[in-house]
Amino acid sequence: MALLMLDYSSTCRSSISYNSFAFTYGRLSGLNHENGSLGGPKVRNLKILPCGSMVNWKKHKKKQVGFCGYVTKSLNQVTVVKGKPRNRLNSEEVIGELKSFSDLNSALSYFKSLAELPYVVHTTETCNYMLEVLRIHGRIEDMAVVFDLMQKQIINRDLGTYLTIFKGLCIKGGIRLAPLALEKMRETGIILNAYSYNGLIHLILQSGFFREALVVYRRMVSEGIKPSLKTYSALMVASGKRRDIETFSYCGDMDAVKEFWSQMEADGYAPDVVTFTILVDALCKAGDVDKAFGMLDAMKKEGVLPNLHTYNTLISGLLRLHRLEEALELFSNMEPLGVRPTAYTYILFIDYYGKSADPGKALETFEKMKSRGIVPNIVACNASLYGLAEAGRLGEAKTMFNWLKHSGLAPDSVTYNMMMKCYSKVGQVDEAIKLTEWVRHGKCFVGMKDMKLAPSVVTYNTLLAGLGKEGKVQKAIELFDGMVDHGCFPDTITFNTLLDCLCKNDEVDLALKTLCKMTAMNCSPDVLTYNTIIYGLVKEQRVNDAIWFFHQMKKWLYPDYITLFTLIPGVVKDGRIEDALKITEHFVYQVGIHTGRNFWKDLIGGILTAAGTDKAVLFAEKLVFSRLCQNDSALVPIIKSLCWQKKSLVAKDVFVKFTKNLGVMPTLETYNYLINGLLEVHAPEIAVNLFKEMKEAGCAPDVSTYNLLLDAYGKSGEINELFKLYEEMPSRRCKPNTVTHNIVISGLVKSNSVDKAMDLYYDLVIFGSVGMVEEAGKLYEELQHVGLEPNVFTYNALIRGCSKSGNPNSAYAVYKKMMVGGCSPNPGTFAQLPNQS
């Protein structure tokens, strides 16, 4: 039995029954005991209460809903009295009602009943709660009903929605496994509509999983569902932001961008300024700024005007390629085109100058922004401080810091971090710490606290780096130990910074203890962590420990190039050539490792520095013999090092051993280093023989090779050999450069063959190309350096060359120089001068 309390209303006309009640939009209908219509006076407080209970009106007054009257439950039923709409039930109240049901079927019935009411709208929170409850009880089919309701009523499906469904389908791994989950969802009756597909793709992209988003997109298209313009835009943005897996720099997948663009147009979408700007940005990130500029013409044809973001994107692309002049030109054209630059536009230039080690220009741009009436924001100030901090220009940084505090701008944690970095850069890390007032008060960074700022992990990392640079190990440890007390937890960078400080200051054992603390604090070591410890162990000549640590690292992470370049020199120095070879071999065959010439040159170069020539040669021999290195890249640094030490004859013996005995094919680089070294130790005959051997072996000399031998012939006065070699160059398709001509002319002058020198000079000026004329101008200066004074014929030849090459201003400059130098012109001089308009 239930107690029925009625709220009389002139607008309420319903049929009721005293047993089970069900919702209808216009009335309350019962299954039996019909009692006619309600009429007459107004009714107050319709409630259905369990037998024997009383209801306090005030207690339930909060339960007002966004439809007529009240919704309350009576064991397994819900009822309502129609009245005027009042306050809505919020999500928390609906969830509270759902939680109060002990029976899942009753809760689901209540949830569905609310969904049928005209003035009640479920939210993401209420639907996600219902999905979670159903998931716990394994009610997948009912989850499909709730999801379908969300789609029909256009209720936002967020990340929690999909992750709950994935869990219900026993799919672990998060949103990244959406492609797999979609298969199982379809099998259980959870079918996505266009809005759901679009939303899911956005969620996947926001989580950084482009490939998975692409799979979902293709599935969507295969089902005949048309993606939205916003989805195409998001996919193009993600494609343009893809990074190169080796350099980790932006490379952009332009093929994917173009594919989405074509499909977008095929679906009938007209590109707008947003989509055009996305394409411009993708082209810029791919390094094709010229094509990005070409899009401006395409926009014009489509009647789409570029906006501020379009221009900022182009400027950013130009600056990324260090095309500063073009960026400045575009910047100067913005306002005439009706687009006013904002603070962000100026920040692009400030940031560029700061990172290009030109803080002066960064400050100049900052002041220019202020003079144009654009109020600098904190980002602009921080960008200016970055350049000053990198350059260690503390005085100007302090001026900037004080200015922003008095200008109404509140410094943020980045501002303080830049100031601390600047202090650390000039060796005043104690002042950096005082900036926070931490040392003096023993509290939580009072200076930053006054600005209502909490020190971030970046703040600590900056200070730790400064202390490490100055070798203040104890202070670094104290600062690190105080982090947690001040409510800031260290990250991997923090630990790596401290480990670097310890290992570089001979505290490897303490570094190992810190590493244990790192794992205890749930902070995962990365490759840099292991590289730092290996460096410290090798530095202390604890090679066994370094190798053991290296093998421990391989259980969790892939070693990188720095790992090998840090470990192998120490192992070779310790005389463990075979161990070094095995480690190198395993590394080379590791997935994703590319061993080009620079790899082997850098590795052998490090071994030469750490272990010396003899051990480096032994290791290089092993590399070649085991066919790990099949070219001369391991030989090059050895030859270069020996020649630099004036041990070129030893270098020749090593060269013969590698080329004759081990079958290494030498390249031009090795020949040039060795020929140069032999000439420097006055072994020209051996150098010439090597040059002949080089040509016979099919290795073509370049201009550097010829210049080395030409210079030797010139210095020794062997003019015939010099000219013979000089004349050989064209037949070998080797074009002489300015250095070549300078060597030849200087050699001729030093051997008193002045006439030949002048003839060669005249040939360059009169019969040479524009480039040759420019070379002749440089040679003119060289002639004076070797004591050959130019005469009227010299000047006339140079004037004629400038005139013929279309440089009248240069021709008159030579004429002026001729007059100043006291050389009188002749009729031929005036005949060579071009006419002035």
What pLDDT, in 10s, does the model give residues 511-570?
999 998 888 888 889 999 999 999 999 999 999 999 999 999 988 888 999 999 999 999
Partner residues linked to 79 by β-bridges: 72
Whether residues 114 and 180 fall in one domain: yes
Last residue of a domain, one of 207, 227, 247: 227
For residue 449, is it within any domain?
Answer: no
Residue 59 has pLDDT above 80, yes or no: no
Would you state the structure tokens that stand for residue 743, as one six-digit string? 């060597």
Would you state the structure tokens that stand for residue 258, as one six-digit string? 């173009």
Q: 765 or 214: whose pLDDT is higher? A: 214
CB atoms within 10 A of CB 123: 16
Domain span holding position 45: 1-87
Q: What is the rounded distance in angstroms from the CA atom of residue 109 to the CA atom of residue 368?
A: 67
Look at the chain and count its residues: 837
Whether residues 13 and 128 fall in one domain: no
Q: What is the mean pLDDT of residues 768-793?
A: 54
For residues 306 and 279, the answer to whether their CB atoms sit within 8 Å is no
- Which residues contact residue 135 at a Cβ distance below 8 angstroms, ignoring those fewer than 6 apart? 143, 164, 165, 167, 168
* Domain count within the chain: 2
pLDDT in tens, 61-106: 333 333 333 444 443 344 343 343 444 678 888 898 889 998 899 9
State the pLDDT at residue 386: 85
- Residue 317: pLDDT band (50, 70, 90) is very high
Whether residues 77 and 111 fall in one domain: no
For residue 170, is it within any domain?
Answer: yes
State the pLDDT at residue 782: 55
Whether residues 181 and 127 fall in one domain: yes
- Longest pairwise C-alpha distance within the chain: 135
* Parallel/antiparallel/unpaired status of strands 21-23 and 2-7: unpaired
For residue 504, is it within any domain?
Answer: no
Residue 6 has pLDDT above 70, yes or no: no
Whether residues 123 and 212 fall in one domain: yes
CA distances from residue 568 to 53, 152, 500, 550, 763 in whole angstroms, order as listed: 83, 64, 19, 11, 56
Whether residues 217 and 127 fall in one domain: yes
Q: What is the mean pLDDT of residues 690-694?
A: 94
For residues 57 and 45, the answer to whether their CB atoms sit within 8 Å is yes
Last residue of a domain, one of 227, 247, 264: 227
Main-chain phi, psi angles of 49, to 5 degrees? -120, 150
Over the chain, what is the mean pLDDT?
A: 80
Q: What is the mean pLDDT of residues 290-312?
A: 90
For residue 100, is it within any domain?
Answer: yes
CB atoms within 10 A of CB 301: 7
pLDDT in tens, 592-634: 678 889 999 999 999 999 999 999 999 999 999 999 998 999 9
Stretch among 281-285, 304-308, 337-341, 745-749 having the lowest mean pLDDT:
745-749
Whether residues 75 and 96 fall in one domain: no
For residue 615, is it within any domain?
Answer: no
Q: 354 or 779: whose pLDDT is higher? A: 354
Whether residues 5 and 29 fall in one domain: yes
For residue 157, is it within any domain?
Answer: yes
For residue 4, is it within any domain?
Answer: yes
Helices and strands, number each (H, E), in the chain: 45, 6
Whether residues 62 and 95 fall in one domain: no
Residue 247 has pLDDT above 90, yes or no: no
Whether residues 59 and 180 fall in one domain: no
In percent, how much of the chain has pLDDT > 70? 78
Residue 767 has pLDDT above 50, yes or no: no
For residue 177, is it within any domain?
Answer: yes
Residue with tokens 């200066």: 781
Whether residues 59 and 140 fall in one domain: no
DSSP string, 359-419: HHHHHHHHHHHHHTTPPP-HHHHHHHHHHHHHHT-HHHHHHHHHHHHHTTPPP-HHHHHHH
Residue 458 has pLDDT above 50, yes or no: yes
Q: What is the mean pLDDT of residues 255-273?
A: 87
State the pLDDT at residue 719: 84
pLDDT in tens, 190-202: 999 999 999 999 9
pLDDT in tens, 737-746: 878 877 887 7
Whether residues 135 and 23 fall in one domain: no
Last residue of a domain, one of 87, 109, 130: 87
pLDDT in tens, 416-430: 888 888 888 777 877
Q: What is the rounded distance in angstroms from the CA atom of residue 309 to the CA atom of residue 399?
A: 32
State the pLDDT at residue 485: 78
Cα Rg for the chain, rounded, in angstroms?
Answer: 40
